[in-house]
Structure formats: C-alpha cells, structure tokens
A and B are shown apart, each in its own frame.
Chain A
Amino acid sequence: MGKPRWGSDRERLKTAVYPGKLNQIIALFESLPDAEKRESLISYAAAAMKQGPRDGETFDLEDIRKDEECTDTVGVFLKVSPQRGCAFRITLGPQVQTLTKAMTAILCKGLDGLTPEEIMEVPADFVPKIVGAELVRQRSQTVYYILTRMKGIARVWLNRERSAAHGA
C-alpha cells in the first residue's frame, strides 16, 4: 500500500493540502463569497446527473443501494486502471437532495485518477470549506454521504485485491 502522494496526515494538517483536483475545487470555493458559493453548488448539482455510467463502460465494482442516510437510491460504480487510477460513476435517484447532488459532481471530478489507497486517505474536513460551515451545520446529514460511499467501494476493491494476492 503506497503513501498518499499529497503527503502524510501530519503534513496535510500543516499545509492543508488535498489531492490536486480536489484542492483546486476547494480553493475556488474558499475564494467565493457565500452567494457565489451557493451558485456554484447549484451548478455542480446540475452536473450530477451527467456522472452516471456511459454506454459501453464496464466497471470493477458496482454498488447500488438505498441507505437510511440518503433520501433515495445511489449507485456507485468504480473502475480502477492498470496504473491504479480510480474512475467513479454515480447514479442518483430523483429524491436525492441538492447538496448531495453537488457533492457527487465535485467528488467525481476531485477524486478522479487517485489510487484506492489515496481515496481512503482523503479527509472529510474539506467539506465545510466547499459547502460552508453554515450549511454543514444546518444539513449535516446530506453532505458526507457520497464521500462515505466512494470510500466504501474503494475499501471493497482493496480488500478484494488483498484477497486475490493472498490466494495467488
């Protein structure tokens, strides 16, 4: 298992650095006043419906389920390249809340290409930087769910890889 490419937890806490693409999104949101931050979240939410599987795509893992933590079914699809880069596709049921939709598009873009190990190391403390502490405080149940699901499928992928290695 490799060390995250963006540094250890201690280094991260010192420098507050996140994976490259995610870091760019965070930096953008942090620079925006509240009204524009909200507007950007709406734009990302509108893009969420384009995050689903494309025709002909195949995946290493698919995890479609309805959890109590979310208002509708969410499908998470993972493909890991030979270079161990993750590509996520996500489907959302119509009742999924707007903040969850926004986080879906943000995370599909921000975590694209990271290794499964790196996905597992992504800290959740970036969420208030994007959504704003006020929205997190008011609607905390909706903003962490997609990250949890993405980490969950990455963990399953790693467990299977480990099992295969032990079985070989």
Chain B
Amino acid sequence: MSDKNYAHPEALVSTEWVSEHLADSHLRIVESNEDILLYDTGHIQGSVHIDWRSDLQDQTIRDYITPQQFAAVCERNGISNDTTVVFYGDKSNWWACYALWVFRLFGHTKVKIMDGGRDKWVAEGRHLTRAVPHFTQGHYAAQESRFDGEIRAFYDQALAQSRAGMALIDVRSPAEFRGEVTHMPEYPQEGVLRGGHIPNAASVPWKMAVKDDSTFKSVNELRQIYEDEAGLQPGQEVIAYCRIGERSSHTWFVLTYLLGYKNVRNYDGSWTEWGNRVGAPIERG
C-alpha cells in the first residue's frame, strides 16, 4: 500500500497480500460483519469470526467488555498479545474498522485492515471455505484498563468540542445530518427521538473515503476531502460520530492510519445517544 503514500501504509493490506499470508502463524485473520450469518456461509481460510455486538460489547450495559473479557475473546480465537490481526468484513469494512478500533481500545496495536473487505475478496473470485479453524488457545495478558481516553469520546467531550467550535465530523448520510431522517437508508428507525446533528459538526459522509470497489481512496484524494473541503488539519483534535459508532470507526481509521492524525476519537454513543438525550443541543439543515 506504499504507492498510495498513506501515513501508516502497514495498516492496510491488499486481498493479494492476505492470500499470500494465509499460513502465517503470527497472523490472525478476523471477519467482522453486519450480516451475522455471513461468516458461516463461507469465509477466508483460517479466519475467525468476531461479532461486534455479541463478542465485543457488554450484553447488559451499553459499553464494551472488560479487558479480562477481551483477553478471553482473544485467547479463544488464538490471538496473543503479539499476534498481528487483519480485519475484513462486509459493508465496505464498517464492522472490520469497528472491531479494529475496539481492539485498539484494549491496547492491541498490531492491527490491519484488508482493503476492499469481503466484497473485493469475493469479486476477485478468491477461495472461501466453510471450515471453521481451531487454534491453540492464545495467551493474552489483559491491560489494566481500556484506552478510552485516547481514542474514544463520550457525550460530555463531544458537547465541549461542539461548544468550543473544535473539529467535529458527522459521517452519516446527508439526510441524517440534515435531520430529515433519523436512520440511514435501509435501516429501521431504532428509537431515536430527534433528528439533526451536533452543532458545529461538519458533514463528511464515510462513503467519501472509498471507491466503488470499497477500497480506500489515495492520500491526495483523502486530503482534499477532509482538509481542503471539510477544513480539518493534521494535529487537530477531531471527534467523529455517526449513529452507533460503526461508520465513524471507518472514518477514524482513515484519519488515524491513512492521513496520520494523532488525536482522533470515535464518539461511539453517537446519534442514538445524542438524539435521545434530554436537553442535548441539536442543529438541523
């Protein structure tokens, strides 16, 4: 990926690269999808399935699992602290980026995304298997706590960012940003009471970062979108949000790994928190 001049080209690998590293014992390929049964219909040989909801989120409180629970997820998938994890999935890698971001929350830094995701792998006619791999249990030393402060934003921080007029980007569809709908096309209304966006947020839909085949655009194209048009600057503190944090994970990956921004946080509470919160300021239009 060095030909695209990304800030961290090592974080993005091609389908071809993955196909050449299927037997690499230091690597674990992880599929993470919106379609919960898609992995079961066929997946990259040797890949494991980690579900963004049932594996990575607490099943009672709206939050992520504990570091100890994360260590257990890794160990049962044969992932140790020094394992490089390559994520891929459906929907242009939304959930793959989300899973990668959650891995980073737990301090796992050896992470990569397969550019183009599952759709590109399938479109290229590459092999899928239904055989579920079984690995020797990994040894994962859990971190003492999550790295929430570094890469995750909460309501109060997004509010402060909004009031200060600092960089805040809304990566949802334009209609969601304008408050015309409270959910993206093709998705049900999931109980958000108000539509609109966080005051002072700029609308930069996630999709602008990818080409038709779901691969990421070049660094020059990305700079034009995020810097020339949206007004972001490297070194700025940026908060990205969407509806539940999956599309903004995609943008978080773009800003962090492809453009090299060092202070980007994902507000995973996103619009399902903000649009329901009593008294939260909202702009429309």
Contact = CB atoms under 8 A, between A and B. Distances in A.
B35 interface: yes
A134 B37 CA distance: 13
B187 A68 contact: yes
Nearest to A38: B40
A98 B188 contact: no
B38 interface: yes
Given A38-B37, A42-B41, A98-B36, A141 B53 contact: no
Interface string B236-257: 0000000000000000000000
Interface residues of A, number: 19
Interface in B100-155: none
Contacts of A102: 37
B37 A99 contact: yes
A97 B40 CA distance: 12
- For the residues of B in contact with A, the DSSP-based class is loop
Given A42-B41, A98-B41, A134-B54, A139 B187 contact: no
Contacts of B35: 97-99
Given A97-B34, A98-B36, A138-B36, A45 B41 contact: yes
Given A98-B35, A134-B54, A68 B186 contact: yes
A69 interface: yes
A4 to B, nearest CB: 29
Interface string A24-49: 00000000000000110110011000
Contacts of B38: 97-98
Interface in A8-27: none
A139 B36 contact: yes
B59 to A, nearest CB: 9
Nearest to A100: B35
A135 interface: yes
A135 B36 contact: yes
A56 B94 CA distance: 42
Interface string B51-70: 10110000000000000000
B279 interface: no
Contact of B36 (A39, A71, A99): A99
Interface in A58-84: 68-71
Interface in A136-158: 138-139, 141
A98 B186 contact: no
B125 to A, nearest CB: 15
A69 B185 CA distance: 8
A139 B185 CA distance: 16
A71 B183 CA distance: 13
B37 A68 contact: no
Contacts of B41: 42, 45-46, 98
A45 B41 CA distance: 9
Interface string B87-104: 000000000000000000
Interface of B: 34-38, 40-41, 51, 53-54, 183, 185-188
Given A42-B41, A102-B37, 19 more contacts: A38-B37, A38-B40, A39-B40, A41-B37, A42-B40, A45-B41, A46-B41, A68-B188, A69-B188, A97-B36, A98-B36, A98-B40, A99-B35, A99-B37, A134-B54, A135-B36, A138-B36, A138-B53, A141-B188
